[in-house]
Amino acid sequence: MSTVRWRLADFLEERGFTAYALAKASDISRMNTIYRIARRGQEPTRVDLPTLATVLDGLRKLTGEPVDLTDVLEYLPGNPPEAQK
């Protein structure tokens, strides 16, 4: 079975930023939302699209770089289609 996982913790670590810095840059009123998403191994399994957009906006503001969905979400394919036949 394929899965999609958050890579926000990896993204922040690779660039030397903290979840706290992202929460401040994102202007999210509930900082626990960012902390929960950025907690490696305990990330939420559902994505609220407005929250995702806020996270991406915050990352752009924090890093000064363009940030894409694939920077914070990763698709892990399950069995290849050939193996399912």
For the chain, helix (H) and strand (E) counts, in that order, are 5, 2
**pLDDT of amino acid 36:** 92
Under 8 Å between Cβ of 12 and 71: no
Domains and CATH numbers, the chain: 3-84 (1.10.260)
Looking at residue 34, its amino acid is I
Q: Supply the pTM of this predicted model.
A: 0.84
3-state secondary structure of 53: helix
User: How confident is the model over 35-60, as pLDDT tens digits?
Assistant: 999 999 888 888 889 999 999 999 99
pLDDT reading at 32 higher than 70: yes
Q: Which of 38, 41, 60, 57 is nearest to 49 (CA)?
A: 57
Beta bridge partners of 5: 74
pLDDT band at 76 (very low <50, low <70, confident <90, very high): very high
